[in-house]
Every structure is written in C-alpha cells, then in structure tokens.
Structure 1
Amino acid sequence: MTFTDEAPRTGSLPARGSSAARPRRGSAALAVYVAAGLLLIAFNLRVGIASVSPVLSSLEHDLGGSPAAASLLTTIPVFAFGAFAFLTPALSRRIGLHRLLGVTMAAAALGIGLRLIPSPVALFAGTVVVGAAIAVANVCMPAAIKQDFAHRTASMMGLYSTAMFVGAAVATAFTVPLMADFGGSWRAALGFWLVPAAAALLVWLPRAAMNPGHVPHSTRVLDAVEELPDEPRMRRLLRDRVAWAVTGFMGTQSLTYYAALTWIPTLLRDAGVPDGEAGLMLSYTSLPGIAAALAVPALSRLRPPWLPIALSTACLIVGFTGLLLVTDGGAPWWWMTFLGLGQGSAIALSLSFIVLRSPDSRHTGHLSTMAQGIGYLLAGLGPVGLGIIHSATGGWSMPVGALLAVLVAQFAAGAAAARDRHVFSTGGARP
C-alpha cells in the first residue's frame, strides 16, 4: 500500500494535475492550516462516544430500564471502529485520502444529528453511523500525518492524541450541564455535539476540495492509498510478529480505555459520588492524559524501549486498584490522575507504533487498517464484558480484577511493539 509520489506534502505544492498546482509563498501558512484541520478532525474522534457515558442512566430510563440496551450505545461504536476500518483502503482509492476525511466529518455530524429524532431506531442508527465515520477517520489519520508531516511525525502524532483527549474531556465534562440547559433532554445534549463536527468539516473543505488529480486511465486519485503489484498484501501482514504486537497493544489498551469510559461513572455513582461530579471526574482524567500524550515523544527515547510501556501500565494498575478504595462519595482525584496518565500515554504510544513500525508510508495504511480494525473489534469486548461481570457479581472487585488481568497482556504486547524494528524486518515475519 502506498501513496503516489505526486501526493502533497506539508508545505509543498498540491499534487500535479490539481487546478491549484502553482507556486505558493504561504507554504508555512498552508502547513499550519492543514495541521489545524487535522487536529479539529481529531477532536471529533471521541466526542460522539464520550458524550454518551455521562447520561447513560437517563438513556437507560428512556430505553425501558434496560442496562444492556443502554450499554450498547457505547459498545456499538467500538465494534464499528473495527468492522468499518477494513473499508478504508478501498474508499481512499475511490475518493482520495483528504476528501475521505471530509466525508467522515459529514457522516459524523449526520449520525449525531440522527440522535435528535425521538426514536430508538434513530438513536441506534445514528450511533452506527458515528462509529463508521470515526472508524474510517481513525485509519486515515496516521496515513495523512505520515504523508503531510513526514518530518514532524512524532510531534504531530502527539498532538493528534492530545486533540482526541481534549475532545473526550470536553464531551464528558459538558454533556450533563448541557442536558440541564436543554431542560433535561439528553437527546438535545447529545445532538449539540454535531456542532464541532460540522465546524471541522467547514474548516477542512478547502483542503478536501483541492482536486489531487487522477491516475491516468484509472478512477483512483493521486493522494489515495494504492496497492502496488509487488506490495506485500494483508495476508502476509497477518503473519508478521511486529504487526501483531502493534495490533495487540492497540486492542488491549483500547479495551481498558473504553471499558473505563463506559463504566467508571457508574462505579463512582455506586460509591456515592453524585452524577455531575462523576462525569466531571471522568473528564478530569483527560488533563493528565493530555500531559502524558504530549510527553510520549520524549518518553519514547527512554531505554530500555519497554520502559515507557512499564510506566504506563503501572499508572493504570494504580488507578484501577485505587478505584476499589472509593467509598462514601470520597473524591478519588489521585486515582483518576494515575488513570489519566496511564490512558494518555498508552493511547499515544499505540498510535505512534503504527507509524514508527512502518518502514515508510507504503506500509502505514496496511498496518493502520490491521491494528485498528482487529484492535477495536477486540476492544469492543471491554464494555460488554465488564457489564456482564458486574451484573453477575453485583460488585466491582471482579470487573476491576479482569481489567488488571488485561493489563498484563497489554504490557506484553506493548513491550514487543516497542522494539526498534519494522514490519517485514528480519525476525518480524513468520516463515
């Protein structure tokens, strides 16, 4: 999988064949604009999901008091992340990488808007659309960053992770107050989040509208992900140990993240924390998460290479274990701090590995598809599994214990992914 040589690079001319292909004096301004557009898109990649958890109890009431039906609203998008990720290469070849990112923001706004319709069918349909839009954008973003910011990949991946954390933080912090402002309507509160998706689309439209030209005698566009005749296909990548290490780390860290995102507010409420404060505390984890994500480029230089993974895992162990000590409404700010540090560093590391373990942009798209497609299908088991264990035991000790067991696998996969080698390198692919 590759990007054709004519694909635009940061601060460079648009692709040959484009109506905009002419010398530009404002190349630095163009790079800033593209970076800002990418980060606005990244901001929206968790908003549509993170906004649901704080109002899950209200959703449950309106869905007939069914905890299973309510939890599906946070589980469906994660499974969609995996299922729809595999469509991204074909869509990119037809539409183009940058225009496809614009389409994802339009679809995200549409999906969020569907939730305004007073119908359970519209609610779940909108959730599927939101999940599909984010799934495609998830795969496109590392490829776009690798293409547009080849010499600033580490810093841009850190900013990308940070923007996602900021979006999640804003959504979890403000959805409950918005519901109050909208007269107790959770539909209006969730529907509000189509505004940033629409804003990202509007900002990105000029970049998406730059016609990158078409490959001669083909319907493919020049900035598309293209499979070369001699390119190793996905089936070979599925036999590569490095690719599986990256995929395993992506899947396990996503599993613990989305399980926590879905159930921590309920855990805190069961411990006596008021609804509004529980949502605020979940939002607070994004602050240390942002700091940790920004620190990942520096942490990645630590030796041995598995040390950042160990630090991230240790923070998660402390955070999850500490939550079991929350009683009588005590505010577990320390535990949420450790949890945020662990989540932020783990997410940033997993996204960075997709780029760092690819020898060049030819392989980033395939690895991104595999890691996020398979990884998110695995991650979808987290919210469901945690809910099943909690329902069966009536408490939180066993669910948290299960998450701690997953962290062991997360560390093992992360330590393997941290080794300085590429997919298809010596020792990477099984014979």
Structure 2
Amino acid sequence: MTSRASLHPFWIIAGVLLVAGTLRGTFTGAGPLLGDIGQAFDLGASQAGFLITLPLLAFFVVSPFAARLARAAGLERAIFLALIAMIGGVAIRSAGPLWALYLGSTALGAGIAIGNTLLPSLLKRDFPDQITKLTTLYAVTMGVASAGASAVMVPLAQAFDWRWALAALIVLPLTAALVWAPQLRRRSTPGAEATTGLSGISVWRSGLAWQVTLFFGVNSFVYYAVAAWLPSILTSAGMSPEVAGGLHGVMQLATAAPGLVLVPLVRRMKDQRALATGFALLGLMSLAGLYAAPGLAMIWVALFGFAIGGAFILALAFIGLRSRSAEQTAQLSGMTQSVGYLMSACGPIAIGALHDAVDAWAPALAACGALCILLVVLGLGAGRDRQVA
C-alpha cells in the first residue's frame, strides 16, 4: 500500500529527474581525470579503468537486493538511502589515498545500483501510462548531467587538483537528496512493485527477457568502455586534454538528444526493431569514423553519443514495455541491471588491458564496433511487440 500524502506530481517527477541526474555523471565524470589519477598513483590503463569498473561491479552485486530494500523500507526511503550512499561515496573517493578512491567508487556504485533498479518500478507504479515519456525524460537528464560533469572536470582539476574536481560531483546527489526529501512523507510498502526481485524465476527463463537484458548489457559495455577511455583516445590522436574533455562532454550531451524524437516514434511504431537496429548501426559508423578520420572527432563523438544514448533509452523503455505489471517490471529491472552491468563492468578494464597489451587504441575501437553488430541482432529480438509470458 502507498500513502501519497498529497504530494504534487510535479515534485515527484522533479525528484525522479534529479535522482536520474546522479546515476551516470557521478562516476563517468571521472573519465577525463583518469590520466591525472593514473599519473598520481603510477597506474596502468587497466588499473585506472578499474575506477570506472568498480561502480559497475557494485551494480551487479547490489541490484538484486534493491527490491528487498524497497520492500523493507519503502521505495521512497530506499531511493533516499541510495542518494546518501552516493554522497558518501563521492566524499570518500575524493579523500586522497588510493584505497579511498576504490572504496568510494564502490559505495557510489552501490547507491547508483539501487536508484537504477528502483526508478523504473516507481514510474510503473505512479505513472503507468507515461512510461516511455518519463523514461526518456530521465534518460535525457542523465545525459545532460553527465555532459556537465565531464565538461567541468579538467578545468576544475587545473584550477585546483583532481581530488577537488571529483569532490565537486557531490553537488549532484546532494541536490537530489534535498528535493527528494519530501517524498519521505509517502509511506510505501511495495508488494506489487518490488517484492520478488531476483527470485522471480519466470523472467530468468524467458528468451525475451534475456534479449532485453543482453541488449542493455552489450550497449552498456560499449558505452562505458568508450566513456572511460575517450579522452585518452583523443589525446593520443594529438588533441589537448581540455579539448578531449570538452568532446567527452559533447558525447554525454548527445546521449540526451534521442529523447527529443523517441517518444513520438515509439508511440507510432508497433515495435521498436527498426529503431534498435538503426541506433546500433549508427554506433558502428561512429566508431569506424573515429578510427578512420579522427580529425572529424566532433562529428563522430556526437554521433556515437546519439546512437548509444538512443539504444540506452530504448533498453530502459523495454523494461516497462516488455513486462505486464509493476511486479514483473521489478523482476525484469533487477535481471537487466544485474546481468547487464556485470557485462558493462568488463568494458573499461578490458579495453584498458587491450590497450596496454598492444599500445594502441585501434583494436579497442574495432572490438566495440563488433559489439555494435551483435547489438543489431539483439535489437531485432528485444524490439518485438511482445511481453514476457
């Protein structure tokens, strides 16, 4: 049962969007600083990439338990606790020592995992007729917040140092927590929306659920691998760190652009196979362009962000569109986030290790391009107008 406590929908949506703004920028914002961090601690590319991988591993570990936390504390309180974990994670990560970097990144990832898993269920419960629209809005918010974080990291690091730059990211979860606080008046004991989580065997036996999960996972692998190392790829092509950081922000901002066109398209299309395939092929084209013509990086980076961002928004929408109830949405969300982020956790460290092995970024771009081809196949399955049985 849920007590709405006469909270206006505007504040609910504002809270959702601000929470969404913390779910990516707080840790992808570290990407432009990986070179500085690596130099400070004499880390190789794979070791520095582990700072992006750790939160993703936390997503895998924590996501299955998010539903149980929601059942025990209520959706609103569980999401607030997630924000507190993010605030603590950012603070610890910027404390200075190497162990604090890793510990803080893990705590940050745990908080993000809870928010990632529970927001789709909250939207399914409170706004069942506006899932695609609101999913798009919070994906757009994620992209805009990430872009802002990426754009300011290098200037802040140059004006102060990389620790203060990382610490500045605390503004995102802190603001979200302040706006989310009125939600705590709503006492929610979510039976329908988050009771089963990982124990929902039906979705784990569904081929469609696996197609949705793998579509999310492969897309996230490519996104986080490129997001972690794009500044390094660009600087190796002769660009300055400031320009590379700015282009990293362009990529993040471009992930929000598909939201401007997806809502009307999804409503008009019987299924989303054409959209999923198109985004995957655009991603392949952008990676090929970045390798073949790095002088046009602005175009390729923006195209990559648009393509991968569009596929990401679709993947989030699939969770609600392919499920029949809020309970099944929670099951599919837990499955998708857990397995998908385990896959994506391999991205930054695997691509970093590949670079260390061959001392070049071309094989990394080729590997991500091959995964875009796989994404086409998965999109043809996940995009069908069907629901998990």
TM-score band, normalised by shorter chain: over 0.9
| Among 272, 284, 297, the residue aligned to 1:317 | 284
Query: Structure 1 residue 193 and structure 2 residue 162: aligned?
Result: no
Is the CA contact (8 Å cut-off) linking 1:107 and 1:130 kept in structure 2?
A: yes
1:129-180: CA deviation from partner (whole Å, max 9, x where unpaired)? 0011001110001001111111211110110110111111011111111112
Is the CA contact (8 Å cut-off) linking 2:20 and 2:138 kept in structure 1?
A: yes
User: Structure 1 residues 123, 304: closer, same or farther in 2, change over 3 A?
Assistant: closer
- Matched with 1:46 is 24
Pairing 1:323-362 to 2, within 5 Å after superposition: 323-327=290-294, 330-362=295-327
Query: Structure 1 residue 90 and structure 2 residue 68: aligned?
Result: yes
| Among 9, 31, 43, the residue aligned to 1:31 | 9
User: Structure 1 residues 404, 209: closer, same or farther in 2, change over 3 A?
Assistant: same
Is the CA contact (8 Å cut-off) linking 1:63 and 1:70 kept in structure 2?
A: no
Letter matched to residue 275 of structure 1? P
C-alpha separation between the residues in 1 aligned to 2:290 and 2:193?
45
- Matched with 1:205 is 181
Is the CA contact (8 Å cut-off) linking 1:285 and 1:340 kept in structure 2?
A: yes
C-alpha separation between the residues in 2 aligned to 1:157 and 1:396?
34
C-alpha separation between the residues in 2 aligned to 1:237 and 1:222?
18
- Matched with 1:17 is none
Larger Rg: 1
| Among 3, 7, 11, the residue aligned to 2:2 | 7
Richer in helix (by share) = 2
| Among 406, 409, 417, the residue aligned to 2:371 | 406
Query: Structure 1 residue 245 and structure 2 residue 245: aligned?
Result: no
C-alpha separation between the residues in 1 aligned to 2:277 and 2:190?
43
Letter matched to residue 408 of structure 1? I
Query: Structure 1 residue 305 and structure 2 residue 272: aligned?
Result: yes
Pairing 1:62-141 to 2, within 5 Å after superposition: 62-141=40-119
Quote the offset at 1:417 in angstroms.
0.7
User: Structure 1 residues 235, 106: closer, same or farther in 2, change over 3 A?
Assistant: same
Is the CA contact (8 Å cut-off) linking 1:95 and 1:224 kept in structure 2?
A: no
Quote the offset at 1:298 in angstroms.
2.5
Identity, % of aligned positions: 30
Query: Structure 1 residue 376 and structure 2 residue 341: aligned?
Result: yes
Is the CA contact (8 Å cut-off) linking 1:99 and 1:209 kept in structure 2?
A: no
- Consecutive unaligned residues of structure 1, counting only runs of 5 or more, are 1-5, 9-13, 15-19, 213-219, 425-431
Letter matched to residue 7 of structure 1? T
Is the CA contact (8 Å cut-off) linking 1:63 and 1:69 kept in structure 2?
A: no
C-alpha separation between the residues in 1 aligned to 2:84 and 2:123?
20
Query: Structure 1 residue 144 and structure 2 residue 122: aligned?
Result: yes
C-alpha separation between the residues in 1 aligned to 2:171 and 2:272?
41
- 3-state secondary structure, aligned to 2:258: helix
- For normalisation by structure 2, the TM-score amounts to 0.95
1:242-269: CA deviation from partner (whole Å, max 9, x where unpaired)? 1101101010000000001011111100
Quote the offset at 1:221 in angstroms.
6.1
- For normalisation by structure 1, the TM-score amounts to 0.86
Letter matched to residue 311 of structure 1? G
Letter matched to residue 112 of structure 1? V
- Matched with 2:330 is 365
C-alpha separation between the residues in 1 aligned to 2:96 and 2:372?
40
Query: Structure 1 residue 259 and structure 2 residue 225: aligned?
Result: yes
User: Structure 1 residues 66, 139: closer, same or farther in 2, change over 3 A?
Assistant: same
- Matched with 1:292 is 258
C-alpha separation between the residues in 1 aligned to 2:28 and 2:21?
11
Is the CA contact (8 Å cut-off) linking 2:218 and 2:371 kept in structure 1?
A: yes
